[in-house]
Structures are given as C-alpha cells and as structure tokens.
Amino acid sequence: MHQSQNKALWSGRFSSSPADIMRKFSQSLDYDWSFYKHDLQGSRAHAKMLHTINIFTLEELTLILSSLDEIEEEIMTGKFVPKISLEDVHMNIESRLIEKLGPLGAKIHTGRSRNDQVATDYRLFMKEAIEKLKSKLITFLDVLLTKAQEDIDVVIPGFTHLQHAQPISLGHYWMAYFWKFSRDFKRFNEAYITTDVNPLGAGALAGSTLPLDRQFTTNELGFSSITENSLDTVSDRDYLLEFLFAASTFMLTTSRLSEDLIIWCTSEFDFIDPPDAFCTGSSMMPNKKNPDALELTRGKTSGVLSSLYDLMANIKGLPLTYNRDLQEDKRPVFHTIDTVNIVLDVLTPLITGIKAQEDKIKPHLEKGFLLATDIAEYLVQKGVPFRETHDIVGNIVQFCIKEHKTFNDLSLKDWKEYHFSFEEDIKDILSPLSAIDRRTTFGGTARSEVTRQISAGKALLEGLS
C-alpha cells in the first residue's frame, strides 16, 4: 500500500494528520526546495549503492534512475509543484518517485533517513555555493591588484585615529585590502574542506543494519572523505558555522573598506570620485551624489554577523543527535550566501570604476605635518637619539601651528634654531613622493615594495585559480 499524495510518509503511527497550522509551521520547502538538484543527486548515488548490495536489481535501478531524471525534468519545466503538506524537499521528491513507481519507489529510502539526507544535500549545496563565491572573490582580488598598479604613484595621507599620520601610496592601500581579502578567501577555502565530507549512510543517528557501502556513495558524490561517527554526522552543523565565520570576516573587510571610501567621497576629503552607476541622488536635493552602494555594504554586514550568531545560538543547547531546531539552519546561511554574492557583484565594478582625484588630494598632503617622522628620522641619521629628535620635531610642529606655517615655509636658519644638525639637505626630505619611497622596509609603502607585493599577490592568485 502506498501513501496518498497529501499524507505524510511517516503517517503510519498517527491516527490523525497534522493541523493545518502545524503543516505551515513545520514545512521547510521555502528554503530547502533549493536543494532539489542535490537531493536527486544523493538519491541517484544511494540507489546505485543499494544496487551494489542487492537491494535493487539492475532493471530496478534503471527504472529508479530514469524516474529521478524525469522528476528533475518536471521540476525544471515547472510541471512539478512541491506540496507544503509533504513538509520538505526530501519527502516531495520521494513521494513523486513512489507515485511513479509504486512499491519500487518506496524502496529508495532503505537505510536512509532525512537526517543524513539533509546533511548530504546541504553539504553538496554548500560545496557549489562556496566554489562560486571563491571564483568571484578571485576576480575581486584581481581588481585590487589592478588598482594597486594603477594608483601606485598616487600619494595620499595615511591615517591612524583618522588623523593625518604619514604619506602612503594609494597602491599600498589597495594592497592592504588585497591581503585582507586573500585571508577571507583562505577561510572560505577552509570551510569548503570541512564541508567536503560524506554524511550519507549515517542513517537517522546510528548507522544501519544493512551493509551500506559508504565509500561507494563517497566516490559517487565526489566527497573527499567519509564522516567518522554517525551521531556526530546528523547533529553536526559546524561546517556551516565555519562558512558563516568566513563570510562574517569577509563582510567586516568590505565594511571597513566601504567606511574609508565613504569618508574619501565627502566634500571634506574628496580623494575619490565613485562611479555614478553605484551612487544615487536625493529626491529633494539636486546637488546630491550619495555613495549608497558602499553604505549598503556596510549596512548589510550586520545581517551576516547576525547570521553567524543565529546559528551558533540555535546549536548551543542541542542534545545529540538530530533535533528539529536544526531545520532553522537554512535561513542564516542562505541569507549570507545571497549577501556575499551581491556584495561581490557590486564591489567588483565599483572599485574598478573609482577614480583617484590627485589634484584634490594634493592640498591634503600639506596638512597635518605628514613628514614629521621623516624629519625626526633625518636627525637620527645624523646621530641624534630618536627620543630627542621626536621632541625637537614636536616643538617645530608646535611652532608652525602657532605661526600658520608648513615645514616648507621654514628657512635653514629656522631649522638650525631647533638643532645644529639640520643642513640644506632637509629640503630633500620634504617631498611626499620621496617620503614614501624611503620606506623600503619589507612590507612598507615604498613603490619598490608595493611592486614586490603586487608580484607576490599575482603569484598567489595564479596558485588559487
């Protein structure tokens, strides 16, 4: 006897069916219908394995496989509309198979539970999603390398505490983000490795009395290894947490980058002109060009951080093994995948289109005594102890502020009043471009070092793609 269309596949033990509101409450189709391809893929592998252990004859397997293909076709052409009454993607597809094949279809769930089935679908789904994100991130990293090359000669003030600190190459700045995002890439990759383990065969929680061949499904599904413990397998969601953590640090990186760029777009700074295509205007003020894409990126970051917390809080108190709470693991992850994708889709052309406004940046280099450390180090080269030079230059800065002067306005006589070691060559120190090029420390802002970083970055990218 097989189930009628709307009857749950587990209804045997029940004398009445769930309340309508319970069906609505219990269903996960809103999310897990996205797993249909992976669910079919898992069923194909499971069916083939069942054939190897003589549960299915070859003819039966052939029928099962062709019916699964038909179901896929029906889904893709919109002929198969899943039913909420059947709870989730797993039971919808299984019910359709039973509709098609009767008792033979009813054999597909042999040795399998939705608990290992959902784990299998999810891991297959995540492997694809992470691969897609990784390739978008590689493109984005490449854009940062291009920007670094393009803007290597552009000198901007570098900041600490959002106060002028020392001059830096804008190329150096873009490379800072290149390295940050390359670590986010590494974390996505780690999450991929943790995900790439086959849960199928764990059953509901304890394995199976049937001689299931887990190595067979592992090969068939393209997983790199097999989960070791069935109890762990059906209760484990930490591969998702790892992904959410990688996504969270990625979003934090985009958010900090956005924050800088938003500041740089203000009339007060005016360092960059973001592309019109990624800004919006005001409904009232005709003068406005707002960097909304960057603000939205910063704003969307909180949603992703909350998703990590959402799943951690879900898991925190769960006893082993499967609990229905785990069905709620999809909302935060799906939201995060969508957000990271769209943020990469927006930031990639946005950053490509950013123009550095050198003429607007120049006057800023005159402010904030950016070369103070250079002057102190000039005296160090003449043998003056650094603490003393720090004090001397601090006094010069104080003098300049009082007199409304810059370092360039000082005569050699003025310099000498502060220390006899100052010579004519102090003038050579006072150019921002030479100031960046003197910082040749490994990882410093000298153009020679930025060039080295760009080559290292290129080599890294070549290794990734």
Q: Which of residues 369-428 bind ligand ARG (CB under 6 A)?
A: none
Q: Catalytic: which of 17, 282, 302, 448?
A: 282
The DSSP line for 289-344 is -B-HHHHHHHHHHHHHHHHHHHHHHHHHTPPSS--GGGGGGHHHHHHHHHHHHHHH
Q: Which helix (H) or strand (E) holds 154?
A: none
Q: Which of residues 179-208 bind ligand ARG (CB under 6 A)?
A: none
Taking the complex as a whole, the smallest distance from the CB of residue 116 to ligand ARG amounts, in Å, to: 9
Active-site residue, 46 included = no
Q: Does 28 bind ligand ARG (CB under 6 A)?
A: yes
Closest CB to ligand ARG among 150 and 232? 232
Could you say which of 112, 114, 364, 419 contacts ligand ARG (CB under 6 A)? Answer: 114
- d(C-alpha 320, C-alpha 335), whole Å: 26
- d(C-alpha 465, C-alpha 456), whole Å: 15
- d(C-alpha 38, C-alpha 124), whole Å: 6
CA nearest neighbour of 433 among 412, 422, 447, 444: 447
Taking the complex as a whole, the smallest distance from the CB of residue 204 to ligand ARG amounts, in Å, to: 7
Do 378 and 429 touch, CB atoms closer than 8 A?
A: yes
Task: Give buried/exposed letters for 64-90 (b at 16+ CB in 10 A, else e).
Answer: bbebbeebbeebeeeebebbbbbbbbb
Taking the complex as a whole, the smallest distance from the CB of residue 92 to ligand ARG amounts, in Å, to: 11
Closest CB to ligand ARG among 55 and 86? 86
Q: Does 249 bind ligand ARG (CB under 6 A)?
A: no
Taking the complex as a whole, the smallest distance from the CB of residue 49 to ligand ARG amounts, in Å, to: 20
Closest CB to ligand ARG among 235 and 327? 327
Taking the complex as a whole, the smallest distance from the CB of residue 87 to ligand ARG amounts, in Å, to: 6
**Which of the stretches 114-122, 141-149, 399-407, 431-439 binds ligand ARG when contact is defined by CB under 6 A?**
114-122
Looking up tokens 């889709």, which residue turns up?
Answer: 345
Per-residue x/- track, 61-90, ligand ARG (CB under 6 A):
---------------------------x--
Burial of 393 (0-12, 13-18, 19+ CB in 10 A): buried
Q: Does 445 bind ligand ARG (CB under 6 A)?
A: no
Q: Does 115 bind ligand ARG (CB under 6 A)?
A: yes
State residue 323 phi and psi, 5-degree precision.
Answer: -130, 150
Q: Catalytic: which of 4, 16, 161, 411?
A: 161
Active-site residue, 90 included = no
Q: Which of residues 307-326 bind ligand ARG (CB under 6 A)?
A: 322, 324, 326
CA dihedral 346, 348, 349, 353 (to 10 degrees): 120
Binding site for ligand ARG (CB under 6 A): 28, 32, 88, 114-115, 118, 322, 324, 326-327
Residues involved in catalysis? 161, 282
